[in-house]
Amino acid sequence: MKRGLRASVAAWGIVLYVGCRAIDIVLQAQSLAAAVGQVVLVEWGSSRLGVTWSDPTPPTSNAATAWRVAAGAAWGFLGAALLFGTLFLSRSVGVEAVAHIEVSVLAIGLGTAALHSWRDELLFHGITLRMLEGTPVSPVFKVLACGVTSAGAALGRSDSTARSVVVAALLGIAFGALWVQDRGAWQPSAAHAAFRWSTGTLLSGGIVHSRLADNAWAGGNAGMLGGTAAVIALAPACIFALGWTAQRISPRSA
């Protein structure tokens, strides 16, 4: 990709981000409608910038796509398990089973997680990797770039903290590795959705109620992703993702 075209992709990425923020502000009282509007905007913009859900060569079958989604979801659930396990083993979270599991709560939570992951993966990682396409940088650098864009997005939130920004960077690296390996959006989007659904719904009232300790380690009111435990739990996953990328993906194939 030529330098001018890369600059155009970057500029359009910024425009799409600003558009998403505008939708969020206008529809702040209707979070689901805002998420849908943002997904429509980002899907429209990213597709015109050449961000793809699957590598066009060779053609991908429905069965192969389903396998990629399942594999991505498994990675996402594993990441959530690492986080929750760290909190549980350090006695930083109290767990109470939900008396009656509401299918509607689980479904709405899954739908919301899917929409947010769809938007974030295309906007913060798909466009970033599209901008770097054809450059001599290594796959590891591309994965790190995904961490930088995720951290930047987290830094722009009004409730951001140093820990939440670091966690966003770690997750961005992990999902970026799936982008590079999968050469498309299916696997990282599924991983992101599974992770978000687990931490935001399943472990937060969907299946069990998780009561975080009110300290910097657990996160307290900042949530599972706002504490030091999240950094400690996700750092090994990030290191694994970088090592996996360096071993399995050659610069020529990325």
pLDDT digits (tens, 9 = 90+) for 154-206: 998 888 899 999 999 999 999 999 999 988 999 999 999 999 999 999 999 99
- DSSP annotation of 252: T
CB contact set of 90 (below 8 Å; sequence gap of 6+): 217, 218, 229
Task: Give yes or no for residue 252 having a pLDDT over 90.
Answer: no
Q: Which residues pair with 94 in a beta bridge?
A: 211
Dihedral sign (CA 164, 165, 168, 174): negative
For 35-63, what is the mean pLDDT? Answer: 87
d(CA 197, CA 195): 6
Asked if 249 and 139 count as a contact pair (C-beta separation under 8 A), the reply is yes
Cis geometry, peptide bond prior to residue 56 (ω within 30 degrees of 0)? no
In angstroms, the CA 46 to CA 179 distance is 15
Can you tell me the mean pLDDT for 103-117?
A: 95
Residue ranges of E strands in 14-118:
93-97
Nearest-angstrom CA–CA distance, 221 and 210: 12
The average confidence (pLDDT) of the chain is: 90
- According to the model, what pLDDT value does residue 164 have? 94
Comparison of pLDDT for 62 and 129, the residue scoring more: 129
Angle at 186 between CA 183 and CA 190, to 5 degrees: 130
